[in-house]
Amino acid sequence: MLSIKELLGKDKYIIPMYQRNYAWEESHLKQLVQDVWDCVDSERHYYIGTLVVHIRKDGMFETIDGQQRLTTLNIMMCALKNEIYNNSSLFDWFGSVNIEYEFRERSSKTLTALYLHDSTAELNDSSIEAMYDVVKRTIDSIVPEDSLDKFLDFFFNQVMITRVVLPEDTDLNHYFEIMNSRGEQLEKPEILKARIMRLSKRDKRKCWLIGLIWDACSDMDSHVQMNFSSDLRDAIFGKKWNECNWTDLNDLICRTQHIQISQTFDDYSILDVLKKTQNQSGKKTENENEDRFSSVVNFANFLLQVLRVIKKQDIPLDDKRLIDIFTEERITEDFADIFISEMLRLRFLFDRFIIKRDFYEDRENGKLSVKYLKHEKDTEYSYNLTIDDSTSKRIMMVESMFHASLPSQNYKHWLCATLNYLYDNRDGKGLVEYLEKLGKAYMLGRFLTEDITADSFYYDLIFNKGGRYTGNIPSKLSLPTFTKHIDFFIFNYIDYCLWKEGRCPDFEFTSRSSIEHFYPQHPMDNFPTMDEEHLHNIGNLCLISASKNSKLSNYQPLSKTEHYKNSKKIDSVKQKIMMDVVNKNKNKEQPWWTEEVEEQAQYIQEVLLRSFNS
């Protein structure tokens, strides 16, 4: 067992040639920092998994499993040392990066240059460089400034990793092969299901229904009605499959009683089960619905969202702690009955009003949409827009704005807010207005303020303030710059406001993880360097995909504009507006310079203030 200080303060690690390139993204780092911060006050260790190594003859540890975490930890230390604490004596133990890459010299050089804070070095590994750039922003967004010392002390000394050294005669190729093709462990929701069903074991009919509801809800990639047999669908959701008006679990048991009568509730041995051929699960048989949708959240996290909404308590949305969280709740049979009934109701509302990726028309990428399921006649059914066309589009866009800002499964506070709203407003009326107010509260209460409140910000906003910002709206905004903390949500909110004002009707949110300097930081071909105040101003920045940023980052604005000219899809509405300015000025010697940056910043200021005051 090694602490982070012990792991990075001694020993050398080498990444062998058969390992893939570094692939962690900002969402992975946010998850790690958030998980660590959640445990700072727990007075116990936090474990980040296993590092499997083999000792080479030269004494270096060849990393078989865990290189992504090991690389990330080294990047974090470089950024903490150089960007946050400025070579404080706190980092004396971190004498150098302790990782090398076999036959990936560019990765090794990039990491060494970042450690030395060498601004003149050529950084050839864009993935490592991109992660370095987001460390400060990520820590600033999660850890309050006055708690940074406490966070780092816990991070260095209480965050643990298990290093496993393989025996000397291990066939490494064979081990690597079996390690990457191993079976799956029993998932935490299945353990929780067993515990809940155990509470009702005396009532086998009730236990039967709980099992069917749990299994139906666990398939997050289809509408929950389709995970029941047709007779159960009609009994639970009505003939049109679009009602959730049961009162409690007993009501559901009564509704399905005529179906239960045909069931046999005898006890079976394992051999009896193996001999049974009929399908008892009630799973869907309609092939049309298979593999069409993809959920934005997994079942384990959905369970925590449901618990939070029902209990109205500040419950962590960390699915790795699922069993511990439910154990702490000391679930009784009465509460389990409430939980099952309301889980099904919230799952129905989730499918009706929350974005899913729909692969019906685009089998490769899918398109985010908000659709509900409706029974037509016999075996025919259809997926329809949840409300009218324009409102459904706005719901889809505003939810996509939240989702694109934090695509990881955990800590979707916007989803908790939405489910809590739908729990009280089951027809969904006013949902889009509520979500727009929530976005405004995120901006003014979290991302455009230096006074970041405690961790309870999201809980307090959702459950005590109704999702509304209760402070005064400023007459002038202090917009962040690239050199300070600037969260992706700010760019996504700007793009949503611009879209809503009609600037680019065909725009759709995608996963974008790189902040682009429209006028480049390191211009090519002897073009002048822009002063840092304008260079890092939000007027010169936009959010695009990392691959496009890496490819075009040092090009002039006119060249970037020409490159995107025939592109059918744009990464950013803000970028599109900046390119329109360049097209207008393309005959000027400098079509995009400090004056244009200032005008763009002023325009964004006006757009945001219109949104906040609407």
- Confidence label for 283 from pLDDT (cuts 50, 70 and 90): very low
Q: What is the mean pLDDT of the chain?
A: 87
- 54 within 8 A of 165, measured Cβ to Cβ: yes
Strands 13-15 and 371-377: unpaired
pLDDT of residue 277 exceeding 70: no
What is the per-residue pLDDT for 551? Answer: 67
- 467 within 8 A of 461, measured Cβ to Cβ: yes
- 378 within 8 A of 453, measured Cβ to Cβ: no
Arithmetic mean of pLDDT, 460-475: 93
- What residues contact 125, with CB distance under 8 A and at least 6 apart? 22, 104, 106, 107, 109, 110, 111
- Confidence label for 31 from pLDDT (cuts 50, 70 and 90): confident
Which comes out higher in pLDDT, residue 279 or 363? Answer: 363
Task: Give the integer Cα–Cα distance in Å for 434 and 428.
Answer: 10
Q: What is the pTM of this model?
A: 0.78
pLDDT of residue 548 exceeding 80: no
Residue 569's alpha-carbon distances to 543, 572, 579, in angstroms, are 14, 9, 14
In angstroms, what is the C-alpha Rg of the chain? 27
Positions of E strands within 303-445: 356-358, 367-369, 371-377, 380-385
- 103 within 8 A of 16, measured Cβ to Cβ: no
pLDDT of residue 526 exceeding 90: no
- 355 within 8 A of 399, measured Cβ to Cβ: yes
Which residue matches tokens 């409690």?
248
- Confidence label for 258 from pLDDT (cuts 50, 70 and 90): confident
% of the chain at pLDDT higher than 70: 92
CA-wise closest residue to 304 among 328, 332, 334, 333: 328
- What residues contact 110, with CB distance under 8 A and at least 6 apart? 121, 123, 124, 125, 128, 129
pLDDT of residue 416 exceeding 70: yes
- Alpha-carbon 503 to chain mean position: 27
pLDDT of residue 287 exceeding 60: no
Arithmetic mean of pLDDT, 480-505: 92
Positions of E strands within 43-98: 46-55, 61-65
Which comes out higher in pLDDT, residue 141 or 29? Answer: 29
What is the per-residue pLDDT for 320? Answer: 84
**368-414 per-position pLDDT tens digit:** 889 888 888 888 888 887 777 788 899 999 999 999 988 777 789 99
What is the per-residue pLDDT for 354? Answer: 96
Residue 207's alpha-carbon distances to 225, 438, 563, in angstroms, are 19, 39, 61
Task: Give the integer Cα–Cα distance in Å for 90 and 9.
Answer: 12
What is the per-residue pLDDT for 285? Answer: 41
The length of the chain, given as a count of residues:
614
pLDDT of residue 279 exceeding 50: no
What is the per-residue pLDDT for 280? Answer: 45
The secondary structure element, H or E, covering residue 100 is strand 99-101
Arithmetic mean of pLDDT, 429-454: 88
Helix 204-218 and helix 188-199: axis angle, to 10°? Answer: 160
Using the CB atoms, write b or e for 577-608: b if 16+ within 10 Å: bbbebbeebeeeebbbbbebbeebbebbbebb
- What residues contact 324, with CB distance under 8 A and at least 6 apart? none
**1-20 per-position pLDDT tens digit:** 999 999 999 899 999 887 88
Task: Give the integer Cα–Cα distance in Å for 441 and 465.
Answer: 10
3-state helix, strand, coil in the chain (%, to 5): 50, 10, 40
Tokens representing residue 391 in the block: 């409102």
Arithmetic mean of pLDDT, 211-232: 94
Range among 320-324, 381-385, 475-479 rated most confident: 475-479
CA-wise closest residue to 205 among 279, 129, 133, 256: 256
pLDDT of residue 296 exceeding 60: yes
- Alpha-carbon 148 to chain mean position: 23
pLDDT of residue 564 exceeding 90: no
Range among 132-136, 411-415, 454-458 rated most confident: 411-415
What is the per-residue pLDDT for 278? Answer: 46
Residue 220's Cβ-count burial label (10 Å; 0-12, 13-18, 19+) is buried
Residue 369 region by backbone torsions, left for phi larger than 0, else alpha for psi between -120 and 50, else beta: beta
Tokens representing residue 560 in the block: 């970037």
Arithmetic mean of pLDDT, 125-138: 88
